[in-house]
Amino acid sequence: MYIEDLLQPLMYAVKTNRYDSTLVQSFYEQINYKNLGFTEKQSVIMLKISKTYKQQINTHLGKDITPLLDNPQFKFSIRTISLIKNISTNIDERVIKIKFPYEEKLVNEIKKVRNEFSRAEWNSDEKLWIFSLEDKVINFLAPWIENYNFIADEEFKNFANQIKAITSNIENYVPMLTHDGKNTKYINVHSSVPELASDDVLTSVFQARRAGITTWDNNIEQALEEYNEAEIVKDFIKSDPANAFSINLEENSILDLKPIVKNLLPCIVTVPGGNELNKTQQALELLKAIGIENHEISVLFRLPNENGADFNKFVKEEKLNSPLSEKTKAVVLSGKLPKPLFESEIRFNCVLNFNFYNIHYTLANFMKNKHNVINVLADKKQKHPQIEYM
């Protein structure tokens, strides 16, 4: 009789506690389905469990297993676990694999950050962790070479050294807007990026933002502080274009947005159902203040005459019904995404969202990836708008 034979009664006949039951099941599957013997640590645990439930096992088997426990015999050889801690890179599969003997501290470190990576998963067949090959993963794992004595392949070391070199000389790699006291210019940008149209710092910052460049040098920072603009404008240009920005009309005027919208045309204006006329008039005040003509504005929806006659009359009298064209500077939307906008090739640079909550799914999908979304809140009590599908 072998120690492995005790798994059968432990699995099916002996009542064990929850913790021991989990271990027994794992050992049972390992021995019977994978034909893998115990590791040294597992063999010690198995003996401890068998001794704990010796009387129950004796009763089930009708024999005393004490001699086996005092002089344990194993059917499979005890496996030796490699103590090597290894980091390897597979360029073709675009993955990094790390293998190490179980260490709770390292596993916990991985679990804390795994959701930040495109891929970070345990492969039970290979008994290793698989990560996506990306900068964030390399930066996370590189310190393990020195801190935890991991051995890394040359590909991983090369990637880590390249990232370190770039980080140490970030100003030579990151696309950036600079100012020398007279002129503004880009550095580290692709040749396809349009040249700056002005040496005015504020105008250049907005042009850079449209090109996806949101980093600038200290000279730009100092120059921006000297502009006599509302603080909300300065807050906006320092914000992430991918994150919605809010203006509260109890604290600011809608006209404070003039330099923002003027430099981020063409724009989309979204107005809430039930308050279309008032919010469209409010938006029109801003658009006219920055020099946009009525024929450059397209209101792409109408209301049923029984409850929206005043709105429809306003659009007609103000001549806000021009079709979309290369001259369009602003479009006003409410409800579902109109087909002309869906088919248009106009690249809109900002969205003025007058805080509506229930949005048609076509418009929600259209706006989901838009940058420079500005939520216009009526007062402090009004919550930050959440886009929901109808």
Look at the alpha carbons of 158, 160, 161, 162 in this order and tell me if their dihedral is positive or negative: positive
Alpha-carbon gap, residue 259 to 203, rounded angstroms: 9
Q: Can you list the domains of the chain with their CATH numbers?
A: 3-70 (no CATH), 86-168 (no CATH), 172-228 (no CATH), 240-389 (3.40.50)
Max Cα separation, the chain? 102
Distance CA 221, CA 179 (A): 9
Of residues 257, 263, 270, 246, the one with CA closest to residue 211: 263
CA distance 150 to 325: 61
Contacts of 358 by beta carbon, 8 Å cutoff, 6+ apart: 273, 388, 390
pLDDT at 165: 83
Q: Could you tell me the mean pLDDT of each successive run of 10 residues in the chain, 390 residues long? A: 94 93 93 89 94 95 94 90 86 93 91 93 90 94 94 94 81 83 88 87 94 91 90 93 90 94 95 89 95 95 92 94 93 88 88 74 77 84 47
Q: What is the pTM of this model?
A: 0.59
Contact call for residues 287 and 258 (beta carbons, < 8 A)? no
**Reduced DSSP (H G I as helix, E B as strand, rest coil) percent helix, strand, coil of the chain, to 5:** 45, 15, 40
pLDDT in tens, 7-42: 999 999 999 999 999 999 999 999 998 888 998 889
Token reading at 371: 């940058």
Residue 193: the pLDDT is 87
91-130 confidence digits (pLDDT tens): 999 999 999 988 899 999 999 999 999 999 999 888 899 9
pLDDT of residue 387: 44
